[in-house]
Structure 1
């Protein structure tokens, strides 16, 4: 691995968000971070995240990979820039409406829509927080939707609730993405796969060892993905609301204690 590939910004080095672009060079073709990132997104949308490399992105722009290194240092920086563009698309949908519950639902659906439009996006969520300006604006909107609302006077309570919703959304979207990957790998959609394994599952249920699984197969409604996502989100939001209600009752009880 070359020193260029292993390069890690030191304590005094500017992050990609604060680093100026090199001067524009008209030949052999003008470049900019925006053009590079848009080309990388187009490549990822068409072929998946594994297809994104500085070599391929450079080729799509008629530029060698070394020219791209003038605009960013590593592939990881390119991925960060790609993620931030998607957060910008989410923000362009407009202001966050309603109370804390409606606001969190809106943010969850925007994330899901972005993951549907860019199948690679969910693969880059769930690790360390993204620090791009659009990602920070999304985080600010998520926290502001709760901050100051009754029951959310403590910023730790805000972070717990936002974290719980984000954890659900990322988990649910990973499940949807995994199903799409399985379809591509097997050549069968979910219905076809279920038909292929139906006889085996019924033989296993007939052993009597899986009574609860039998109820799932025979009695569960198995709603479509859109409905399932909303129902799961409701469970999380209901849990947050119940916790707020318990806290309010506990606080009222404390105020009613007689003085000693």
Structure 2
């Protein structure tokens, strides 16, 4: 494909699948992506390699390069396969959107469904959170989810033009990336160290007590002493609602 910056290869989304050939194991990009996702779910992105995928599929590694030219293309296919799950779940939730629209507007119900499905996908595929915000997601399913989100936000009362829409999307995406990466990191840490919140508090409790007794950190002391371990899903939903409330009532300055 010729561009103003020279000749570049077509994106993996626009390249036709290689012609099938007589081989014991038929391949497709969808099959390769599904296998890669299973491996990444179990071993993380660090444990993902073309050799492992090929072994799982029962083919030679070089056959995979007919379908994906590098690791970046493989990740693009994997990410878009997850977005396909998010988009499909959103379509299946249309009835609940319309019922919730009785309490809130339809744009808000749509955003809630999409964001909560994104969280569900990240919890099912933890590696997905590593790639959120790290690289553009431009596959057809990612674009479909992005279109649904942007179209819904454009209907919010506080969004009056393209600048407001850009800011609203930026705030929402920043929340999603930050909240999901933090939640996934906490899950991984607890799993890898075998240390839950109670054990962590017991280990560092004496030190923290000594520091708080100095009186230099009164607000932190309130959080430690009076605060409770909040439910992750409820906290995510509460903070998401706060973001949407801010978008709705965003004043023109």
Q: For this structure pair, what is the TM-score category when the shorter chain's length is used for normalisation?
A: 0.7 to 0.9
Q: Displaced runs of 4+ in structure 1, greater than 4 A?
A: none
- Structure 1, unmatched stretches of 5+, are 1-9, 251-260
Report the CA distance between 1:92 and its aligned residue.
Answer: 0.8
Change (3 A) 1:81 1:200: same
**Alignment equivalent of 1:80, drawn from 67, 76, 80:** 76
Partner of residue 54, structure 2:
58
Q: Give me the whole-angstrom Cα distance separating, in 2, the residues matched to 1:66 and 1:180.
A: 36
- Shift of residue 148, structure 1, vs aligned partner: 4.3
Task: State the match for 1:138 in structure 2.
Answer: 145
Q: What is the alpha-carbon distance in structure 2 between the residues aligned to residue 25 and residue 197 of structure 1? A: 61
**CA RMSD, 1 decimal:** 1.7
Q: Secondary structure at the match of 1:17?
A: coil
Asked if 1:189 corresponds to 2:185, the answer is no
Gap regions ≥5 residues in structure 2: 1-5
Q: 1:149 offset after TM fit, Å?
A: 4.5
1:29 aligns with 2:58: no
* 1:211 matched residue in structure 2: 218
Q: Distance in 1 between matches of 2:160 and 2:145?
A: 20
Size of the alignment, in residue pairs?
Answer: 237
Hey, what's the Cα distance between the residues in 2 that align with 1:213 and 1:149? 36
Superposed counterparts of 1:48-197, under 5 Å: 48-95=44-91, 97=97, 98=101, 99-197=106-204
1:19 aligns with 2:15: yes
Secondary structure at the residue paired with 2:10?
A: coil
TM superposition shift of 1:155: 2.0
* SS at 1:120 equivalent: helix
Q: What's the offset of the Cα at 1:154?
A: 1.0
2:33·2:78 contact (CA, 8 Å) conserved in 1?
yes
The answer on whether the counterparts of 1:84 and 1:133 sit within 8 Å (CA) in structure 2 is yes
CA contact (8 A) 2:156 2:248 kept: no
User: Which residue number corresponds to residue 247 of structure 2?
Assistant: 240
Deviation string 1:88-107 (CA, Å, 9 cap, x unpaired) is 00111133534232222222
Deviation by residue 1:2-41 (Cα, 9 ceiling, x = unmatched): xxxxxxxx73321000011111123242111111111100
**TM-score using structure 2 length:** 0.87
- 1:44 and 1:52 in contact (8 A); partners too: yes
Aligned counterparts, 1:210-229, within 5 A: 210-229=217-236
TM (normalized to structure 1)? 0.85
Q: Is the Cα–Cα contact under 8 Å of residues 158 and 247 in structure 2 kept in the other structure?
A: no
How far the C-alpha of 1:142 sits from its partner, in A, is 0.4
Does the CA-based 8 Å contact 1:100-1:145 persist in structure 2?
yes
- Structure of larger gyration radius: 1
